């Protein structure tokens, strides 16, 4: 397929394609959440500092809650999203695509202590890069997945500018990839269309704009436009 998805087949036999998120958007979401937590702690420090020793004790309790309860509560109660994930269009779900529950949310966040080892989330980053679905160690243990939140797009049919039969017999998955290109490519920039079409140069026999147009023609042929 043209994109990397985690495919999950439901008991009804429906294949779900879950677009897994990589380490970069996840790191940006974490940075946003960190800024929010630091802002909360700064405000509370100024208020609780007025209470002297009692305020220091309360601050330590709040410090623990903000850093550990913050992601758990948001993910379990706010449809798998923290404010940072919401801003980046990410969501935590179970491995089968179902909403994340309390136990997975607690497990994946407590295991951040392991992902942080030896420093700077090194273990978590290496796990994300090694796993085909970008999961860190906490996700692997909790059975969760961070994915890009689906956004509704208007489906645009492949431009009917040509109809071209594929020169080779295509497998069902290959046919689906060509049709997906035809339906989604109008939403992409011309440069991105050409980049994707260049991947299948052995099929189209051309590169650049010519290859993209031939791929459009094959999509039209597979869709029955004669």
The 10s digit of each residue's pLDDT in 135-190 is: 999 999 999 999 998 765 554 445 556 788 888 888 888 888 888 888 887 777 88
pLDDT at residue number 2: 46
Q: How far apart are CA 34 and CA 89, in angstroms?
A: 17
**Residue 1: which pLDDT band, with cuts at 50, 70 and 90?**
very low
What percentage of the chain has pLDDT greater than the value 70?
90
**Residue 219: which pLDDT band, with cuts at 50, 70 and 90?**
confident
**Residue 39: which pLDDT band, with cuts at 50, 70 and 90?**
very high
Q: H helices of the chain, where?
A: 23-48, 53-64, 70-77, 83-88, 102-110, 112-115, 122-130, 137-142, 172-184, 190-199, 201-204, 208-222
Rg of the chain over CA atoms, in angstroms?
23
For residue 61 the two structure tokens come to: 């309790």
How far, in whole angstroms, is CA 88 from its chain's centroid?
9
Is residue 29 within 8 A of residue 66, CB to CB? The reply is: no
Is 0.85 topped by the overall pTM? Answer: no
For residue 158, give the DSSP letter: P
pLDDT at residue number 151: 65
């Amino acid at each position: 397929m043209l994109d990397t998805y985690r495919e999950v087949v439901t008991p009804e036999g429906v294949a779900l394609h879950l677009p897994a998120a990589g380490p970069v958007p996840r790191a940006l979401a974490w940075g946003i959440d960190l800024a929010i937590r630091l802002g909360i702690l700064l405000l509370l420090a100024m208020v609780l500092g007025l209470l002297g020793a009692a305020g220091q004790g309360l601050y330590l309790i709040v410090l623990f809650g903000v850093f550990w309860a913050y992601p758990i509560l948001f993910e379990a109660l706010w449809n798998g999203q923290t404010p940072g994930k919401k801003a980046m269009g990410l969501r935590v779900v179970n491995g089968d695509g179902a909403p994340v529950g309390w136990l997975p949310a607690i497990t994946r966040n407590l295991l951040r202590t392991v992902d942080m080892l030896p420093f700077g989330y090194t273990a978590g980053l290496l796990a994300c890069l090694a796993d085909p679905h970008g999961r860190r160690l906490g996700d692997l243990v909790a059975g969760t997945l961070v994915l890009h939140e689906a956004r509704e797009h208007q489906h645009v049919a492949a431009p009917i500018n040509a109809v071209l039969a594929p020169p080779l017999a295509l497998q069902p998955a290959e046919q689906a990839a060509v049709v997906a290109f035809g339906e989604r490519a109008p939403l992409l920039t011309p440069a991105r269309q050409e980049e994707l079409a260049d991947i299948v140069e052995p099929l189209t026999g051309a590169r650049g704009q010519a290859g993209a147009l031939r791929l459009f023609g094959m999509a039209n042929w597979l869709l029955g436009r004669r």
